[in-house]
Amino acid sequence: MAAIEAEELTRIFQVGGEEVRALDGLTVSLERGSLAAVVGPSGSGKSTLMALLGGLDTPSSGSVSVYDQKLNGMAPVDLAAYRRSTVGFVFQDFFLLSHLTAIENVEVPLKLAQVSRSERRDRANELIELVGLGHRGEHRPQQLSGGERQRVAIARALANRPKLLLADEPTGNLDEKTGMAITEILLNLNKDRDITVLLVTHNPELAKQTEIQFHLGGGKLQKTICS
Amino acid sequence: MNLLRTSLIRDLLTDVFLNLFRKRMRALLTMTGVIIGSFLVVLIFSLSNGLSVFLDQQIRAVWDENMIKVRLEKGGAPEKMAKGMFGGLGEPPQEVTEENKEEIPGAFEFRHIPHESIQKLKNIDGVQEVQPEIWVMPRSMQVVGDDRQFDAIVRPWIMAGPDMLAYGQDFSTSAARECIVSEAYLVALGYSNPTQLLGQTLKIRIQEDAYIAMAGGGQMDLKFLDKLRDVAYLFQNPPEDPELTMISAFIMLRDLANSSEIKALTTEPGAAKVFEAKVVGISKKGLLTNMIYLPPDLIAEMGRVFLRNPDMYTKGKDGKFGIEGLVRVSDPKEIPRIKREIKKLGMKSTTLEDVVGFIHGLFGALSAILTVFVMIAGVVAFFSIVNTLFMAVSERKREIGVLQAIGATRGYVAAMFAAEAGAIGLMGGLIGYLLGTVLCIVGNIYAAQGLPYIPGGNWGNILGVSDLFVTPWWVLPLMILATAFVGAFAGVLPAKRAAQLDPAEALRYE
């Protein structure tokens, strides 16, 4: 059963009156429960692919389905529901809300999913424990280290029990040791919770630990390595 | 589902206040326009309403709702004379016609209401009684057994009516030697309890005023001069028959001597006449603090002394009713019909509603003008909120992207910013309302205690019946609706801009 099916995916941007093909007829598929990485040089279309898979952007042509949900032509409100229920994001820059505590940050997606106050507090506590930050739950992002922030971001991404986790350079802003710890969390999530994990990374060490690596170049799939 | 929606709204509101608190100084500064606007609304409408209520009560002190003032269509309108004397008062010069020739200032003549007309007034269905309008200024009033004398104005009780009675009771008969005095006399006399004044006897001194007696012996009726001129003409051009001259002169001089004006001049001047009246009631405090109300017969008697004219307010051959009459009706609802019937009798009428309506209209117009200024404050506040919200959208672009990435709909993002704008408006409105209310309360306390910087002024005596600031009940709901609306409306464009942000682009925003 496929978690991701993208066919002839093309995304064209207009930059200064010129067409830029960020993705150019890309076709990929990924089985449910897989752990995969997207690698490639800057400008190869990695982040664009993530945005399209995550329903943050829509393709210029081609089609994309995630867990049997066809994202092309989906109404904005349905795309929002898709992002809320099916997919979780982890960003390189963490993107936590600075005025909220770690727990409150994890609660935001639950709030948007209209989960009751008591239930979301329980679930947020549980997730904060899961990422090993039980003692730091009441701290604000600026009081946390980079690694801790990324753990909070992972906990937030898991809040609504997504089927697919998209992590865009999750270790990009972290030192090697912290990066390894984060990598371990992500790998465990895939193993223990049966979540399909797709990583975008420049880090060959991180990529090596995944089952499948999609190598992108010039908006096209150059090669697929299964290990 | 409803429960879930309620929780979403509650969460949204919590977020709104958290977001405002993040930039609390900016939020407060943005609110300033709304605060000033709503503060002014409270102040303006409370003062205007308070003054309106206050004046309303003052007018009621001399104008019962059951009373209609009447006078003749012709020769009974002082304003027409005033118009001529002060040069037309903005209207072009009027043509003298057969109809209006007696209304021209040079020919103006006050006319007493004829007794037949008074009888006709009394015969109108629903009319209880008709009395002359009498205004007497006594030399002084004094409580028997107390040496102190106080100033006073004497008016017929029919003008104030039962609503103005604070303590005691109405007169026993129309001929009673009784009076009802203003509550302000309790303060002047140093009494703490109305019962100290009730039952006491007052001495009211009336002294005829030489000028009023000359000019107004018959209330500006100077026909005796015609009679004097006739006598002069007789002696300048005497008939040939000396006997006829003698007889004519005798008749003319007798007429002259019997004219009310000459009678007024020949009564013994100087000594004040003292009238005694028992205090049976105490009227509510008002702007007119030195009021003494009397029954019809007693005040007519005083009026005759005051004007040095024994024919005033009497029936009989030379009896003059006065130029204005006070008609008391049994039911105020009947007033429109009674007014129509009065008009048929060739008389004009004025009611409490006419006078109060005029004052309310005046304050309404004043409020409308001031409301324009408030609306200008509202417009300034509106643009201030728009500006703040656009800044917020711009600053929180990436945050909007993050929220969208984790599942916020465009509607949620738009609602968040619109609610922030509405909250700025609403909170500003409520703060302004509170500040305005506090100022009104302080103002009322000061007004009731007296204003020390007005020499001799003690507003407490005057304002005993009403507050200076009376906030109408509808100001608070109006304020809540208007400020929330101004805020939310100001938030529409920024909210729309926030909702239309492309999430992928917003996330790339630095």
Any CB–CB contact under 8 A between B496 and chain A?
no
Any CB–CB contact under 8 A between A180 and chain B?
no
Instruction: Please list every residue in chain A whose beta carbon sits closer than 8 Å to the beta carbon of residue B509.
Output: none
Q: Alpha-carbon distance A102 to A47, whole Å?
A: 26
> Model confidence at B77, in pLDDT bands (50, 70, 90)?
low
Other beta carbons within 10 Å of B298: 23
- Which pLDDT belongs to residue B383? 93
The DSSP annotation for A58-73 comes to --SEEEEEETTEE-TT
Q: Alpha-carbon distance B107 to B255, whole Å?
A: 23
- Which pLDDT belongs to residue B56? 78
Q: Which residues are paired to B327 by β-bridges?
A: B68, B130
Size of interface A-B (CB pairs under 8 A): 66
Residue type, A47: S
CB contact at 8 A, B327 and B127: yes
Q: Alpha-carbon distance B294 to B130, whole Å?
A: 15
- Which pLDDT belongs to residue B312? 84
* pLDDT of residue B455 exceeding 50: no
Continuous segment of H or E residues that includes residue A198: strand A196-200
The SS3 assignment for B18 reads: helix
Distances (CA, A) of A181 to A92, A95, A148, A176, A178: 15, 19, 10, 9, 5
CATH of A2-86+162-226, one of 3.10.330.10, 3.90.1660.10, 3.40.50.300, 3.40.50.720: 3.40.50.300
Any CB–CB contact under 8 A between A123 and chain B?
no
Selecting from A95, A109, A116 the residue whose C-beta is nearest the C-beta of B407 gives A109
> Model confidence at B216, in pLDDT bands (50, 70, 90)?
very low
- Which pLDDT belongs to residue B217? 43
Rounded mean pLDDT of B73-96?
68
Instruction: Please list every residue in chain A whose beta carbon sits closer than 8 Å to the beta carbon of residue B392.
Output: none
Instruction: Please list every residue in chain B whose beta carbon sits closer than 8 Å to the beta carbon of residue A95.
Output: 398, 401-402, 405, 507
pTM: 0.68
Instruction: Please list every residue in chain B whose beta carbon sits closer than 8 Å to the beta carbon of residue A108.
Output: 403, 406
Distance from CA of A84 to the nearest CA of B (A): 4
Burial tier of A22 (Cβ tally within 10 Å: 0-12, 13-18, 19+): buried
CB contact at 8 A, B75 and B111: yes
Distance from CA of A33 to the nearest CA of B (A): 21
pLDDT in tens, B280-295: 999 987 667 788 999 9
Any CB–CB contact under 8 A between A85 and chain B?
yes
* pLDDT of residue B86 exceeding 70: no
Q: How far apart are the first and last CA of chain A?
A: 19
CA count, 13 A, side-chain hemisphere, B32: 8
**Nearest chain B residue to A87, by CA:** B406
- Which pLDDT belongs to residue B300? 93
* DSSP single-letter state for residue B469: -
Residue type, B320: K
Distance from CA of B399 to the nearest CA of A (A): 7
Distance from CA of B493 to the nearest CA of A (A): 20
Rounded mean pLDDT of A198-212?
89
pLDDT in tens, B372-411: 888 888 898 899 999 999 999 999 999 999 999 999 999 9
Q: Residue A54 and residue B398: Cβ atoms within 8 Å?
A: no
Q: Alpha-carbon distance B167 to B124, whole Å?
A: 33
pLDDT in tens, A10-54: 999 988 889 999 999 999 999 999 999 999 988 899 989 999 999
Q: Residue A56 and residue B7: Cβ atoms within 8 Å?
A: no
Q: Alpha-carbon distance B467 to B459, whole Å?
A: 10
Distance from CA of A22 to the nearest CA of B (A): 14
Q: What are phi and psi of B140, to 5 degrees?
A: -170, 165
Distances (CA, A) of B8 to A112, A155, A214, B328: 7, 22, 40, 65
Mutation for testing the A interface, residue in B14, B19, B406 having most A CBs under 10 Å: B406
Distance from CA of B407 to the nearest CA of A (A): 4
**Nearest chain A residue to B398, by CA:** A95
Q: What are phi and psi of B309, to 5 degrees?
A: -135, 105
> Model confidence at B211, in pLDDT bands (50, 70, 90)?
low
Rounded mean pLDDT of A177-184?
88
Q: Alpha-carbon distance B26 to B396, whole Å?
A: 15
Any CB–CB contact under 8 A between B11 and chain A?
yes
Side-by-side strand order, sheet with A196-200: A87-90, A164-168, A196-200, A35-39, A212-217, A220-226
CB contact at 8 A, B389 and B494: yes
* pLDDT of residue B477 exceeding 50: yes
Instruction: Please list every residue in chain B whose beta carbon sits closer than 8 Å to the beta carbon of residue A91.
Output: 507
* DSSP single-letter state for residue B39: H
CB contact at 8 A, A122 and A130: no
Burial tier of B7 (Cβ tally within 10 Å: 0-12, 13-18, 19+): middle
Any CB–CB contact under 8 A between B502 and chain A?
yes
Q: Alpha-carbon distance A36 to B207, whole Å?
A: 116
- Which pLDDT belongs to residue B494? 94
Q: Domain-by-domain residue ranges, chain A?
A: 2-86+162-226, 99-161
- Of B275, B54, B286, B303, which is closest to residue B155 (Cα–Cα)? B303
Any CB–CB contact under 8 A between B372 and chain A?
no
pLDDT in tens, A95-127: 999 999 999 999 999 999 989 889 999 999 999
- Which pLDDT belongs to residue B80? 64
Instruction: Please list every residue in chain A whose beta carbon sits closer than 8 Å to the beta carbon of residue B411.
Output: 77
Distance from CA of B408 to the nearest CA of A (A): 6
Other beta carbons within 10 Å of B240: 6
* pLDDT of residue B270 exceeding 70: no
The SS3 assignment for B135 reads: coil
Scanning the structure block, which residue is given the tokens 């490639």? A40
Q: Alpha-carbon distance A51 to B508, whole Å?
A: 11
**Nearest chain A residue to B402, by CA:** A95
- Of A90, A92, A93, which is closest to residue A106 (Cα–Cα)? A90
- Of A180, A209, A215, which is closest to residue A197 (Cα–Cα)? A209
Selecting from A100, A112, A117 the residue whose C-beta is nearest the C-beta of B412 gives A112
Any CB–CB contact under 8 A between B412 and chain A?
yes
For Cα atoms B337, B342, B343, give the angle at the middle one, nearest 5 degrees. Answer: 100
Print burial letters for B27-63: b (CB count within 10 Å at least 16), e (below 16). Answer: beebbbbbbbbbbbbbbbbbbbbbbbbbbbbbbbbbb
